[in-house]
Amino acid sequence: MGRVRGSNGTALASFGPKPSGGSIREQTPWDPRLSAQQRGDRTVLQVESSETDDDGMWQARVPRGARSEELTMLPIAPRVYEATVLQPWHDSFPVTIMKRKDGAVVYQRTETVTVSQAPDAAAAEYRQQPPNRDMLRALAEETGGHVDPDPGELTSQGRDGQRILLQPLDNSLIVTSLIVLLGDIALRVLRGPPV
């Protein structure tokens, strides 16, 4: 177990297993997120960084047979970088990601990445699709409606068999509310003030 001591000799922090059986988290919230997606016959690595400075260059080291291949990750969106792995992977594989700044490695982490077989499964739900006009017309004919009717036609339709019936409720509601209000006042006066 390692310890860090201040200038006066007091223990500031200790590293290693805790007596309670806990351990230090391996990944922090500000660490970049690494994922791999299968896109056709290609495997694409993606790094999402939470850092706001884009001065550095992200690279990935991927095993290729007995050697390892170093890939430069290209920006595709703010703080999102991608690289295509030359050898397609279908399960999981180890990847070392590095961030280089001014020729020095400022961040490095190795982890096993699982390849997602359906990269756009969530996006497929929200994709824009043209409407099936034939199905809409058939449905409208069966239910008595119209597909893309003229707005003037909608407002000028005569509704046979229907009539608008307005009930003048305002006078009866005003009289009812006055009777209830006067009854409430009478009860409060007869009972007297609360004790």
Domain 33-119 adopts which CATH fold? Answer: Immunoglobulin-like (2.60.40)
Categorize the per-residue pLDDT at 144 as very low, low, confident or very high, splitting at 50, 70 and 90: confident
CB atoms within 10 A of CB 75: 14
* Structure letter (DSSP) for residue 182: H
Q: For residue range 103-128, what is the model confidence (pLDDT) as tens digits?
A: 888 888 888 888 876 545 555 656 67
pLDDT of residue 5: 52
Query: Could you tell me the sign of the dihedral formed by the alpha carbons of 108, 113, 117, 121, in that order?
Result: negative
Task: Provide the residue ranges of all domains of the chain, joining segments of one domain with +.
Answer: 33-119
In whole angstroms, what is the distance from residue 46 CA to residue 156 CA?
57
In whole angstroms, what is the distance from residue 89 CA to residue 41 CA?
9
Single pTM value for the model: 0.46
Between 35 and 14, the higher pLDDT residue: 35
Q: For residue range 22-50, what is the model confidence (pLDDT) as tens digits?
A: 444 466 667 788 888 887 778 888 888 87
